[in-house]
Amino acid sequence: MRVSRTLAVVAAVALGAGLIGAAAAEESQPTGAAASASPAGASEEAPPPSGLPAVVLPPPSSAEPSEASDVEPDVSASPQSSAKPPPAMKRPRYQAAVIQALDKVTAETLRFEAPINRPIRYKNLIFVVRACETTAPDEGFTDAASYVEIDSQPLPPDRPPPAPRQVFRGWMFANAPGVDPFEHPVYDAWLIACKTDAPGA
């Protein structure tokens, strides 16, 4: 009876030691859920000190700038800034001007052609046309303009003619003769058109 009681005490002591060792081993090993949550091959890190929160460092920033925020749009390449207005068209020039002259005393009129830089006499007047041109197609209206110089030089029958005296110099307009009219007490003249076979340079 005494022997059986002794054996029971020894078994109880052994069982208590075994339970204490198993509990200590279980505390030192991670639980199954914690062990399965950590990836295989991950490096083991020391747990943070008691009472301090774990510090999580942000991932390293990329050296390349963000395309959406850092890169500025190229404004110079926009179609609005690169668009340029078309150049103005050149007025065609001609080799002769058609002029009509009037003698106010006799009411005689004469229409003649005056080539560029060639003097043309009408009674006591000498016409020299320096240029004759028409409006370009992009101007929105049609007109002819001629730059004319007019000298007065009477031709007396009994003596040499005097030196010519300039009485007009300026632009004449076919559709607007009153813009820069030729004013003379005896004669009148105005531009009719520019004429040549092909436009001059």
pLDDT tens digits, the chain, 201 residues: what are they? 454 555 555 555 555 555 445 545 455 555 444 444 444 444 455 555 555 455 555 666 555 555 545 555 555 555 555 677 777 778 889 999 999 999 999 999 999 999 999 999 999 999 999 999 999 888 888 899 999 999 999 988 888 989 999 999 999 999 988 898 999 999 999 999 999 754 444
Main-chain dihedrals φ then ψ at residue 174, nearest 5 degrees: -65, -45
DSSP sequence for 38-93: SPTTPPP-PPPPTTSPPPPPPPPPPSSPPTTTTSPP-GGGSHHHH--PPPPPPPPB
Q: What's the rounded Cα separation, in Å, for the pair 137 and 30?
A: 93
Integer CA distances (angstroms), 145 to 142, 155, 165, 184, in order = 10, 30, 24, 20
pTM for the model stands at 0.55
Supply the pLDDT for residue 137. 86
Q: Which of 8, 59, 192 is nearest to 113 (CA)?
A: 192
